[in-house]
Amino acid sequence: MSVTATVEPSRTAPLRAGTPAYRRTTLALFVAGLTTFGSMYSTQAVLPELTRVFGAAPAVSALAVSVTTGLLALAIIPVSALSERFGRTRVMTASAVAAVGLGLVIPLAPTLPVLLILRALQGIALAGVPAVAMAYLAEEVDGRDLGGAMGRYVAGTTIGGLLGRVVTAAGLDLMPWRGAMEVFAVAAAALTVVMIRALPASKFHVPKPVSVSTTVRAMAAHLRRPALAVLFVLAFLLMGGFVSVYNFLGFRLLAAPFRFAPGIVGLVFLIYLAGTFSSGAAGRLADRIGRRRVLLAAIATMGSGLLLTLPDATPAVLAGMVVFTAGFFAAHSVASGWVGVLATEHRAEASSGYLFCYYAGSSVVGAAAGIAFAAAGWTGIAAAVGVAVLAAFALAATVLPGSAGASAER
């Protein structure tokens, strides 16, 4: 099969902020983030219901999130390699359509094991969008505006994660969990149509042959660069901690002394809006004053928010979650954009390496946090996640390059 690059002569330079093509591109990636992350985390709001209906332990129910992110992590590098051969937009489109099809079937699962199998398959299907989106933006957008573009994509992921959780949680007040999940699956299908229609074709991607050996060599080259290797580790630690907190927040708020109704607990996910704001703001700020400064401030913000959640007081928990969430998405926005800047070659492999660690952290740390929660409740979660945040801050402070501005970090 022969594949050739198509470069439109009408655009010979990467996109700059403010142009119509830039707005269309970032809109399409914003919607891609909506549908992908909404589908990925739509089960998180119904984890307590899965525990009740299927008689499973909370840690077992939490696998409905962890198996999806775990299989996504395993698939993300091979899928990114396919995008080098067959094109960015083609892989993103196929991925989104397959994920939507599985999403419509998952609520029909008769048992928890069947549901977990389908969620694992959905994780594989979802891999194409996040695996390719970062590399797509790095190729199509001028480096001076990449932070803002990446921030807008990450903002879409925050709203998608929010919608996936809030729609299903709100539905629990009106219908069984299956119906609530089906409602979101239909919404995800509609968003996927919008994404496919809006997504511009690549203008600067040149398809190339790929093989296992070339992919391994590219990944090894990235890992030999300390800054990239540290960004990969940060993805594992920070995402693992973030998902752990949200996986078990619902269980905490349903139990004494809070005893909130499931629908009210679902509204807590509106806190994701803090990440929608912080991701875009952090990306733009990093373009101006330097990525390292903004990244360290974001990680410190995560740790501060985590400490605020410790008291059994609703205002403290909510305020802490707002701060924690804003810090996480700011850190992710800066770190993911930095990967695209540092990796001047084999960008898809670099992006997929970062995201492999990102989703592996979600799966591994998110599942292991169930042990901490069973042993020491919320204090156990805070201690485990706190260690991850401190380690991330120490690595970023000691290894990542710093400068007065972003240009010296490229």
DSSP secondary structure string, 302-336?
Answer: HHHHHHHT-SS-HHHHHHHHHHHHHHHHHHHHHHH
* Range in 21-30, 59-68, 207-216, 384-393 with the lowest mean pLDDT: 207-216
| 35 within 8 A of 164, measured Cβ to Cβ | no
The pLDDT-based confidence of 64 (bands split at 50, 70, 90) is very high
Average pLDDT (280-306) is 93
Q: Is the pLDDT of residue 407 over 60?
A: no
What number is the average pLDDT over the span 3-28?
68
* Mean pLDDT, rounded, of the chain: 86
The pLDDT tens digits for 333-348 are 999 889 878 887 777 7
Quick one: average pLDDT of 252-279?
86
Q: Which tops the pLDDT comparison, 359 or 47?
A: 47
Residue 192 has a pLDDT of 93
Classify domain 20-201+216-409 at the CATH topology level. Answer: Growth Hormone; Chain: A; (1.20.1250)
Going from N- to C-terminal start, the domains of the chain cover: 20-201+216-409
Per-residue pLDDT at 138: 80
| Mean pLDDT value of segment 400-404 | 68
Checking if the pLDDT of 405 tops 50, the result is no
Q: What is the pLDDT of residue 133?
A: 85
pLDDT at 360: 85
Structure tokens at 352: 């997929």
Would you say residue 389 has pLDDT above 80?
A: yes
With a cut of 70, say whether residue 7 has pLDDT above it.
no
pLDDT of 376: 94
Least confident of 4-8, 20-24, 326-330, 336-340: 4-8
Percent pLDDT > 70 in the chain is 95
Query: What is the chain's percent helix, strand, coil content, to nearest 5?
Result: 80, 0, 20
**Predicted local confidence at residue 395, as pLDDT:** 96
Banded pLDDT at 11 (limits 50, 70, 90): low
pLDDT computed for residue 70 by the predictor: 86
CA dist., res. 131 & res. 88, Å (int): 9
What is this structure's pTM?
0.75
Q: Quick one: which H or E segment has residue 299?
A: helix 291-308
Residue 8 has pLDDT above 70, yes or no: no
Residue 227 has pLDDT above 80, yes or no: yes
The answer to which of 1-15, 46-60, 248-262, 358-372 has the lowest mean pLDDT is: 1-15
Q: Is 64 exposed, middle or buried (0-12, 13-18, 19+ CB in 10 A)?
A: buried
What's the average model confidence in pLDDT over 206-229? 83
Nearest 5 degrees, angle CA 51-CA 39-CA 55?
A: 10
Q: What's residue 235's pLDDT?
A: 95
Q: How confident is the model at residue 126 (pLDDT cuts 50, 70, 90)?
A: very high
Least confident piece of the model among 15-29, 342-356, 362-376: 342-356
**Non-local CB neighbours of 273 within 8 Å, separated by 6+ positions:** 158, 159, 162
Helix, strand, or coil (residue 5): coil
* 153/405: higher pLDDT: 153
Q: Is the pLDDT of residue 408 over 90?
A: no
Contact between 135 and 81 under an 8 Å Cβ cutoff? The reply is: no
pLDDT at 233 over 80: yes
Residues contacting 337, CB < 8 A, separation 6+: 146, 147, 150, 151, 283, 286, 291
Average the pLDDT over 252-275 and give the result.
86
Residue 12 has pLDDT above 90, yes or no: no
Q: What pLDDT was estimated at residue 362?
A: 81
- Tell me the C-alpha distance between 400 and 66, whole Å: 29
Of 211-215, 219-223, 243-247, the range with the lowest mean pLDDT is 211-215
